[in-house]
Structure 1
Amino acid sequence: MSGIAVAVTAAQGHSDHAPRRLPTDPQWWAGALLSFAILIAVAAQLGGARLVQVARDAPVDPFFWSVFAAFYLLPSACDWIVFRRLWRLPVAGLAALMRKQVANELVFGYSGEAQFYLWARRHAKLATSPFGAVKDVAVLSAVAGNVVTLGLMIASSGLLARVVVGSLGQAFAISAGLIAASSLAMFLLRRRLFSLPTSELWAIFITHVLRIVGSMLLLGVLWHLLLPALPATGLLVLVTMRMMLSRLPFLPAKDVVFAGLVAILLGRDAQVVPAMAMLGGLVIAAHVAVALCSAAAGLMRKVQG
Structure 2
Amino acid sequence: MTRQISATLDSAAPNDPLPLPVRQHSWWVWITPALSIAILAIVAWHFRTFDFQQLIAVVPKSPLFWGVFVIYYMTGIVFDFIIFRWLWGIPLEGMVALARKNVSNQLLVDYLGEAYFYSWARKKVKMTTSPFGAVKDVAILSAFVSNIVTLVMMAMVYPFARTFNLGLTSTALAASVGVITLISLIVALFSKHIFSLSKGQLWGISALHAVRLIVSNVLMAVLWSIALPQVALGWWLVLATAKMLLGRLPLISNKDVIFAAFAVLVVGNDKEIQILMALMATLMLLTHLLVGAALAIGDLVTLPPRRGKAD
| TM-score (normalised: structure 2) | 0.78
- 1:145-187 CA deviation, whole Å, 9 max, x = no partner? 1122223223322443344544555433322222222112111
CA distance in 2, matches of 1:104, 1:35: 13
Could you say which residue in structure 2 is the equivalent of 1:126? Answer: 127
Q: 1:167 to 1:73 in 2, by over 3 A?
A: closer
CA distance in 2, matches of 1:32, 1:164: 50
Identity %: 37
Paired amino acid for 1:137: V
| Alpha-carbon offset, residue 286 of structure 1 | 1.2
CA distance in 2, matches of 1:292, 1:259: 28
CA distance in 1, matches of 2:46, 2:292: 12
Q: 1:29 to 1:174 in 2, by over 3 A?
A: farther
| Alpha-carbon offset, residue 136 of structure 1 | 0.4
- 1:114-134 CA deviation, whole Å, 9 max, x = no partner? 121122223222332211000
Structure 2: tracts of 5 or more residues without a match: 1-23, 307-311
Could you say which residue in structure 2 is the equivalent of 1:10? Answer: none
CA distance in 2, matches of 1:105, 1:242: 18
- 1:29-79 CA deviation, whole Å, 9 max, x = no partner? 444444444333323332355355324421111111111111111110010
2:202 corresponds to 1:209: no
Q: 1:301 to 1:258 in 2, by over 3 A?
A: farther
Higher mean Cα deviation, 84-93 or 259-268? 259-268
Paired amino acid for 2:299: G
Q: 1:179 to 1:96 in 2, by over 3 A?
A: same
Matched position secondary structure for 1:302: coil
CA distance in 2, matches of 1:202, 1:299: 39
Matched position secondary structure for 2:162: helix
Q: 1:153 to 1:276 in 2, by over 3 A?
A: same
Structure 1: tracts of 5 or more residues without a match: 1-22, 250-256
Contact 2:33-2:300 at 8 Å conserved across structures: no
Paired amino acid for 1:299: L
Could you say which residue in structure 2 is the equivalent of 1:59? Answer: 60
Q: Map 1:1-305 to 2 at 5 A.
A: 24-47=25-48, 50-163=51-164, 165-166=166-167, 168-231=169-232, 234-247=235-248, 262-263=259-260, 269-302=270-303
Larger relative contact order (C-alpha < 8 A, sep ≥ 6)? 2
CA distance in 1, matches of 2:115, 2:216: 23
CA distance in 2, matches of 1:29, 1:156: 49
Contact 2:145-2:209 at 8 Å conserved across structures: yes
Could you say which residue in structure 2 is the equivalent of 1:4? Answer: none
Q: 1:164 to 1:185 in 2, by over 3 A?
A: farther
- Report the structure number with the largest CA radius of gyration: 1
Contact 1:159-1:233 at 8 Å conserved across structures: no
Paired amino acid for 2:279: M
The alignment covers a number of residue pairs equal to 276
Q: 1:113 to 1:226 in 2, by over 3 A?
A: same
CA distance in 2, matches of 1:164, 1:135: 40
Q: CA RMSD in A?
A: 2.8
Paired amino acid for 1:76: I
Q: 1:191 to 1:48 in 2, by over 3 A?
A: farther
Q: 1:286 to 1:146 in 2, by over 3 A?
A: same
Contact 1:45-1:284 at 8 Å conserved across structures: no
CA distance in 2, matches of 1:90, 1:82: 12
Contact 1:153-1:240 at 8 Å conserved across structures: no
- 1:219-254 CA deviation, whole Å, 9 max, x = no partner? 1111111223335674355323421344379xxxxx
